[in-house]
Structure 1
Amino acid sequence: MNSNPPLPTSSEAARIRRGRWILVLIFLLFFGTIFGAGVLRFSGWQPHGTKAHGEMLRPAVDARAVVPKLAGGGDYAWRPAERMWRIVVAPPADCASDCLKLAKDLDVVWQLFGNNADHVEILWIGPRPAGAPDTVSLRQLQPTPELLTALPRVNDPAGVPVYVIDPNGFVILRYAPGTDPGFIRTDVSKLLKLI
């Protein structure tokens, strides 16, 4: 009696090799995809559609403890339950034509939000420029040191930066002076979908 199993025929051996190669390919496909995704994730790459045009502040600046003062008197409350996003501008006192253009551009941006405009306010810190549109969404605030400190690099020598504050009172985005207002609209439109 022969205790050794019979040797596979050449067709059976080819089928076994093919099965092994298929198993190796499935393994490479599965783990190669995971490895590739990990490399992209940790290298900082993001798909184009998910990137914000503004500078994402990491960590976000916590301004919840700051109680902004309205220009006409009284406090401006963050009111997180209302899910209100804020576009914030803190220009220097001597800002004239650039601030007027920015005020008009932000008014157009606010109007383009359409039915979502109810969830966006524009906070103008300090005096509004002469001739600026008197929009419903604009809240004029006093330039208190606590509020200005919550806005990173607010005194930019290149011009007036724009910020986005989330409904809870966190400063999450900063736009460099001269940023296309369409980029602000695009980013805030994405944020509005989160509510």
Structure 2
Amino acid sequence: MQTPRPSPSAINKARAEHREATKGSWNKGRWMLLLLAFVCAAPVIASYLMYYVFKPAGGTTSYGALIEPQRPIPGDLMVRDEKGEPMPLTALRGKWLMVTVNGSDCGEPCATRLYFMRQVRALQAAERERVVNVWLRTDDKPVDDKIKTAYPQPDTRMLVADQGAVSKWLPISDDSQLTDHIFLVDPNGNLMERFPKNPDPAKIKGDLAKLLKWSRIG
């Protein structure tokens, strides 16, 4: 017995229903992909909003002075590493950087800043691997062995840099000089904060802890 063929109207109706079902499934899949992309990007979006959009006016809730406008690491700022090899300072992007500047003859104020930076980093616990301390040395004289032992690589980088080039990048306050400060640079290479002369390390720790908490970059 021959099976009756469906009428043209029934075929068209079935095709229309199939198209609607397919369209609905495609739309649902597209929205799921968009939702997944948003969830993945949310931490990065939140971090940018926190310290590029919702910065507290006048730095009222941060200890360090917020640097505005942004001052990215100059692309032509070259330094020499611990082996004397040239490298751009931008090679350190991808980590949070605490930066201090001083001659290689590191006296008590310099040693104190290095100690504060080491302690602040250590107190970040599991997050400390996201932070690198950088001592920009303004000459290539030998560094005391005690300093080298106390602040080893890769936690602390001791890099030789031209003081004039560094001065153009790092701003100072009216009553201070370049060697008085600790600076904070974000993983994108943007200078974020300048901490005051004779800083309170507990307050530096607080600023850094908040940034590491809100940001997933670096």
Give the counterpart of 2:119 among 108, 125, 136: 108
Partner residue, 1:61: 71
CA separation in 1, counterparts of 2:209 and 2:161? 27
Conserved? CA contact 1:78–1:168, under 8 Å: no
Correspondence for 2:46: none
Partners of 2:100 and 2:129 in 1: how far apart?
Answer: 19
> SS of the residue aligned with 2:116?
helix
Q: TM-score, with normalisation over the residues of structure 2? A: 0.58
Q: Map residues 1-195 of structure 1 onto 2, 5 A cutoff.
A: 44=57, 51-69=61-79, 70-72=81-83, 73-75=85-87, 76-78=89-91, 80=93, 82=94, 84-92=95-103, 95-126=106-137, 131-132=146-147, 133-135=150-152, 136-144=154-162, 145-153=164-172, 156-157=176-177, 160-193=180-213, 194-195=215-216
SS of residue matched to 2:205: helix
1:129/1:54 CA distance change after superposition, 3 Å? farther
Instruction: Tell me how many residue pairs correspond in the alignment.
Output: 149
TM-score (norm 1): 0.65
Q: Cα distance 1:130–1:95, how it changes in 2: closer, same or farther (>3 A)?
A: same
How far, CA to CA, are the matches of 1:79 and 1:143 in structure 2? 14
Give the C-alpha shift of residue 53 in structure 1.
0.3
CA distance in 2, matches of 1:140, 1:172: 21
- CA–CA distance in 2 between the matches of 1:123 and 1:158? 14
Q: Classify 1:158/1:168 alpha carbon distance in 2 versus 1 (closer, same or farther; 3 Å).
A: closer
Residues 136 and 160, structure 2, Cα contact 8 Å, conserved in 1: yes
Q: Cα 1:94–1:74, aligned 2, differ >3 Å: closer, same or farther?
A: closer
The one-letter amino acid of 1:131's match is: K
Match of 2:13 in 1: none
The residue identity in structure 1 corresponding to 2:67 is L
Q: Secondary structure at the match of 1:142?
A: strand
Q: 8 Å contact 1:57–1:174 — kept in the other structure? A: yes
Structure 2 CA distance for aligned equivalents of residues 66 and 163 of structure 1: 19
**For 2:170 and 2:58, how far apart are their aligned partners in 1?**
27
- 1:78 to partner: Cα distance: 3.7
Q: CA deviation at 1:130?
A: 6.0
* Bigger mean CA deviation after superposition, 106-115 or 144-153: 144-153
Deviations 1:26-59 (CA, angstroms, capped at 9, x unpaired)? xxxxxxxxxxxxxxx9xx488x7xx110000111
Structure 1 residue 162: Cα displacement: 0.7
Instruction: Output the aligned Cα RMSD.
Output: 3.0
Q: For residues 71 and 109 of structure 1, what CA distance do their matches in structure 2 show?
A: 23
User: What is the percentage of aligned positions where both structures have the same residue?
Assistant: 19
**Structure 2 unmatched runs, 5+:** 1-53
- Counterpart Cα distance in 1 of 2:195 and 2:58: 20
